[in-house]
Amino acid sequence: MHKILAKKQLSPNVTRLDVLAPRIAEIKQPGQFVIVRAQEGGERIPLTIADADPAKGTIALVIQAVGKSTRELVALEVCDAIRDVSGPLGHPTELIASGRALCIGGGVGTAVVHPIAKALHAKGVQVTSVIGGRAKEWVIFEDDLQKCGDVIVCTDDGSHGRKGFVTDAAKEVLTAGGIDIVYAVGPVPMMRAVANLTRPFGVHTVVSLNPVMVDGTGMCGGCRVEVGGETKFACVDGPEFDGHKVDFDLLADRLQTYREFEQRANACADGQCRIRR
């Protein structure tokens, strides 16, 4: 059992839980994730380790409540416990040793970008972060990223930072020159747009993929994606890949596979189990 030591609401549907997991906190690296189960027999949910404090033995999990299981997870309170936390899983981020990096985060993907920016800053890399949300209340990790370098905030409605998409601001940064690598994490359409944006600039672009995962060991095959014409498993070969080689159309299609089951589970949780099959 992994005790919850702190809980914070980051945006209307995104919650941060600081969970006791000392062995994971000690060895985790940027880009890695854990798979959690809130309770015995519960759904296995992959979550990026957004931060860690080895001294306290805690890891930070940032959860977007979109389905039945994630809603149950964020309903837990301080002093409650998560049944299972397995990890760290996946390949760590390949960090450049020097130069300048552009980190782009959209929505809850900003939580995934944060440990990357933090590690790059610690190595002496100059970091510029471009983060976005629908409105001010949807922007997360702004203060944390400001400790790592310059931050440009974009909102769809202009209520905070500049109005527009993260790709608009990213294009300006890339046009100014000097960027050696781009790390982008967010919704599939955003990551695809970033990859299309950086391709003409010839800047290596790393994206973190979020296909359906079950076991986290590559055995179930649910997280398979196509990268450079080859089948890869995001849980063991990733979750980060060269954005210029990812088949985003296939990824988007696979993310729809269990949408009906998710809707049915949500309906039952809300007492509306007569949803049509």
Structural domains of the chain, ranges and CATH numbers in brackets: 2-89 (2.40.30.10), 100-208 (3.40.50.80)
Give the span between the Cα atoms of 54 and 196, in whole angstroms: 38
User: How large a percentage of the chain has pLDDT more than 90?
Assistant: 79
Measured over the CA atoms of residue 121, residue 174, residue 93 and residue 32, the dihedral's sign is: positive
Cis amide prior to 211 (ω within 30 degrees): no
* DSSP structural state of residue 146: H
pTM as predicted: 0.89
Burial of 186 (0-12, 13-18, 19+ CB in 10 A): buried
* Confidence grade of residue 218 (pLDDT, cut at 50, 70, 90): confident
The alpha helices in the chain, defined as continuous H runs, are 22-27, 68-74, 109-122, 142-146, 166-176, 188-198, 234-237, 248-254, 259-269
Highest mean pLDDT among 192-201, 234-243, 251-260: 192-201
Average pLDDT, the chain: 91
Which residues lie closer than 8 Å to 102 by C-beta, 6 or more apart?
128, 129, 130, 170, 173, 174, 179, 181, 182, 183, 203
